[in-house]
Amino acid sequence: MTSDKPSAVAQDFFQRCFRGDLSSAEELLDPTATFRVPGSHRLAGTFEGPQAVARHVEELLRQTHHTLDVLKWEDWMIGFNNLAALVSMRAQRHGAIDTFRAIFLITRSQDDKIRKVEVFFSDQAEVERFFV
């Protein structure tokens, strides 16, 4: 399922995730997919396989009371099988509202599924405080 726009699968995946449509988001993941979130906070770790990725996103949505909102996809760098997306997001947790900037590094498989996602935050300490 090669897409005309290389970023389309990634955008579709994140839109489905952030609106809570996790079962359809899983369909866009390669069976060997990994999702890595840096840090020592409660949502950090490496999640392997579509179900583990979906459970991670489900926990992220639960922790933020489904308030995670992409404010803007700021930029995309697109290669043949690799993408980098710069994004601004906002979330609420325990009465606090915070805005984060992150880079998602995404690797696609030959059949246009997402094989790997790595997240890098512009202010890791801020993320650690938010998800304490």
pLDDT in tens, 64-116: 999 988 899 999 999 989 999 999 999 998 888 999 999 999 999 999 999 99
Residue with tokens 């900037």: 101
Fold of 8-130: Nuclear Transport Factor 2; Chain: A, (3.10.450)
CB 22 within 8 A of CB 13: no
Strands 45-48 and 82-93: unpaired
What are the boundaries of each domain within the chain?
8-130
pLDDT at 121 over 50: yes
Q: In what order do the strands lie in the sheet with 82-93?
A: 45-48, 29-37, 114-121, 96-108, 82-93, 69-78
Residue 109 amino acid letter: S
